[in-house]
Amino acid sequence: MTSKEHLRLTARILVTLGLAGLLLYKLDLSQLLARFRSLSLEGTSLAFAAVIVAIVISAWKWGCILRARQHALPFLTLLRLYFVGLFFNNVLPTSVGGDAVRAWETTKETGEVPEAIGSVVSERLIAGVALGFTALLGLPFIEADTRTVQMVVVFLVIDVALVGLFLVPRIAEGIVGKTLPDRFSSVKGVVKRTVAIVRDTVRNPTLFVWILTLSIVFQLCVAAVNAAIFHALGASVSLAHCVIYTPMIFTVAMLPISISGFGVREAAYWYFFSQVGVSEGDAVATSLLFFVIVGISSLPGAPLFVFRKSRLQPI
């Protein structure tokens, strides 16, 4: 890790601690704990079920990209690798660290570094576009005011623009370089080939639309997790409002200013769901419970990583 990366990590840790301190100052911890103790079994079970369905869909759509690139893997292998990546997303100090692990583990299955890394980056990019489009789907099911519609449109533009940045060579190579292992990230040929693979994938209209559709279904499942948690807490929040606000929240949480989005994500839950009368405590409790439920659901990734079979070294 370079001195600049150390500085960035230190800054993120400080921001995370500062946001955590602000939350502790603003919230009544005794009431927060009381909310956790009063969770309904039905709502909690539904939240776990929605997470598992979302993981299955993610593994499937990622596999579609690999298959289109002539590197098809068995679904159980895809599921194993996705659990491994999700686990590391929850234990590494960035929200995309698990993607790097998943990508590298995939190279051991395919024997092809650029194709494996390119499939993971492509899946992430198209999923980013899906965030904005998912929020649109909730609008017909609520009495949306002008402000809500404007927010949805703004976030759609932001999500599409962020993905569009990948067309800028320097930015694209920087994204790919962070996903590649150190021994390959400095090899320009590997980086450029990976970038080309991602662009070919995104420019394939049939594949793009199919992965975008599956990504929207995935985002609907993520929204359903929030709706189930609110139900478990006894808070009245419609699935439609979760479909609208959840993509916005996770767009904000992608800002690389804290560890795994902690603090930023809670503040976003607090702000957006307050628009429909959710209390500060319920909003933050939902955010923390979402993180915990996903974290518990990702635990199979640890033994699946430790006890994986050795493979030939990728080329």
Those residues with Cβ within 8 angstroms of residue 21's Cβ, 6 or more apart along the chain or in another chain: none
Nearest to 282 by CA among 238, 248, 231, 222: 231
Start-to-end Cα distance in the chain: 25
Per the prediction, the chain carries an average pLDDT of: 87
> With 50 as the cut, is the pLDDT of residue 38 above it?
yes
> With 60 as the cut, is the pLDDT of residue 314 above it?
no
Those residues with Cβ within 8 angstroms of residue 280's Cβ, 6 or more apart along the chain or in another chain: 26, 27, 270, 274
Give me the pLDDT at residue 33, please: 81
> With 80 as the cut, is the pLDDT of residue 87 above it?
yes
Q: Specify the 3-state DSSP secondary structure of 242.
A: helix
Those residues with Cβ within 8 angstroms of residue 139's Cβ, 6 or more apart along the chain or in another chain: 148, 149, 152, 244
Task: Work out the pLDDT band at 313, boundaries 50, 70, 90.
Answer: very low
Judged by average pLDDT, the poorest of 55-64, 69-78, 200-209, 305-314 is 305-314
* Cβ-contact 297, 85 below 8 angstroms: no
- Cα separation, 264 vs 95, in Å, equals 12
Structure tokens at 194: 């990976």
- From residue 118, alpha-carbon distances to 147, 198, 253, 266, 313 in Å are 38, 5, 23, 31, 18
- Cα separation, 283 vs 271, in Å, equals 8
pTM of the model: 0.89
Per-residue pLDDT averaged across 87-104, rounded? 78
User: Please, how many CA atoms are within 13 Å of residue 182, restricted to the half-sphere of its CB?
Assistant: 2
% of the chain with per-residue pLDDT over 90: 56
Residue ranges in the chain assigned as alpha helix (H): 3-26, 29-37, 41-68, 75-91, 97-110, 113-138, 146-164, 169-179, 182-185, 188-202, 205-233, 239-253, 264-273, 280-297, 301-306
CA 57 from centroid of its chain's CA atoms: 13
- Cα separation, 281 vs 27, in Å, equals 7
Give me the pLDDT at residue 303, please: 94
- From residue 286, alpha-carbon distances to 45, 54, 225, 280 in Å are 14, 18, 10, 10
Nearest to 167 by CA among 136, 200, 131: 200
Q: What is the pLDDT of residues 279-299, one digit of tens each?
A: 988 999 999 999 999 999 999
Q: What is the pLDDT of residues 217-258, one digit of tens each?
A: 999 999 999 999 999 999 999 999 999 999 999 999 888 787
- Cα separation, 66 vs 110, in Å, equals 9
* Cβ-contact 232, 144 below 8 angstroms: no
> With 80 as the cut, is the pLDDT of residue 184 above it?
no
Task: Work out the pLDDT band at 93, boundaries 50, 70, 90.
Answer: low
Per-residue pLDDT averaged across 2-28, rounded? 75
% of the chain with per-residue pLDDT over 70: 92
Instruction: Write b or e for each residue in 237-259: b if 16 or more Cβ atoms lie within 10 A of its Cβ, otherwise e.
Output: bebbbbbbbbbbbbbbbbeeebb
Per-residue pLDDT averaged across 154-174, rounded? 85
Judged by average pLDDT, the poorest of 72-81, 262-271, 302-311 is 302-311
Task: Work out the pLDDT band at 94, boundaries 50, 70, 90.
Answer: low
Q: Which residue has the higher pLDDT, 70 or 309?
A: 70
- Cα separation, 138 vs 140, in Å, equals 6
